[in-house]
Amino acid sequence: MSRGSHRGRATQKAPAKSAKGRMAVGAKEKKETRKKRLRKSRRQRSRGDGLRTCAGCGEARSPREMIRVVAGPDGKAHVDLSGKAPGRGCYLDPRTKCVREAVKRKRIGRTLRKERLTIDGDALLAQAVVGVEKQLEKLLSLARKSGRVVSGAETVHRSLASGAVKYLLVAADASAQTIERLIGWGMANEAKVYQVALSVDDLGRVLGKAPRAVAGMRSGEISRAVEREIRLAEGLDFGVRQLGV
């Protein structure tokens, strides 16, 4: 073949696409865009960035601040303590009334697409309380190992005065005199004071110390995680409450 024929072929224009061809290309691009959005949405859900709607009250919030309920292989609803159980999940605000409302309105079964699922509101609340208790103890143990918690009245007082402690945790069986004093310390240093469902002995055990009536939390990710668990426990009537408010 001659060079001229090569040049002639190189300069030939590509045939224009028909309207049908352009529509096909546009449809393909839209499909790819939808796939990308779906993948992004899945990534966000896996990171916990997306909001979830409470089946009890209808309010939306971060899944990290909610209770996740799943259908168990035994045909019963269970609280997903890990938050990672496979399958569909039903999210609830950590409030007793939200759990009971979702059970009453049969919204948990509908959300999980399991209309014949056995749902016991009291059992779900009990499971949630046990989960919060275990997670709180685990986080306090991690805080001790990472140096994000101080304990003992005098040490806590000094740390409060220096601004190192952001909030206090008071044992459930601390004396009325101790509680009154700690509330005063908190107010003087603009620090929140929470009473937790741990005895003096249990608080000391979790912190690897002798019995402790009070612990002070330093700022940091673990401290924020502990406060999230405290808010969960407050809504579940778990014996956790903020003092001095």
Above 50 in pLDDT, residue 46? no
CA distance readout (Å), 227 to 44, 46, 217: 24, 23, 9
Q: Indicate the range of 2-6, 112-116, 166-170, 236-240 predicted with least confidence.
A: 2-6
Please give the pLDDT value at position 236. 86
Please give the pLDDT value at position 23. 65
| H or E, element range at 28 | helix 19-47
What pTM does this model have? 0.70
Please report where in the chains the tokens 């190189």 appear, as a residue. Answer: 10
Please give the pLDDT value at position 40. 54
How many other CB atoms are found less than 10 A from the CB of residue 165?
26
pLDDT digits 0-9 by tens, 135-158: 999 999 999 999 999 999 999 999
Above 50 in pLDDT, residue 48? no
Above 60 in pLDDT, residue 16? no
C-alpha dihedral over 205, 209, 214, 219, to 10 degrees?
Answer: -100
Helix, strand, coil % in the chain, rounded to nearest 5: 50, 15, 35
Question: Which residues neighbour 186 within 8 Å (Cβ) at sequence distance 6 or greater?
Answer: 160, 167, 168, 192, 193, 243, 244
pLDDT digits 0-9 by tens, 200-215: 999 999 999 999 999 9
**Closest Cα to residue 229, out of 200, 196, 190, 192?**
196
- Structural domains of the chain, ranges and CATH numbers in brackets: 52-119 (3.30.1230.10), 136-243 (3.30.1330.30)
Q: How far apart are CA 213 and CA 194, in angstroms?
A: 12
Q: Are strands 90-92 and 77-79 parallel, antiparallel or unpaired?
A: unpaired
- Percent of the chain past pLDDT 70, that is, above it, reads 81
Q: Are strands 241-243 and 192-195 parallel, antiparallel or unpaired?
A: antiparallel
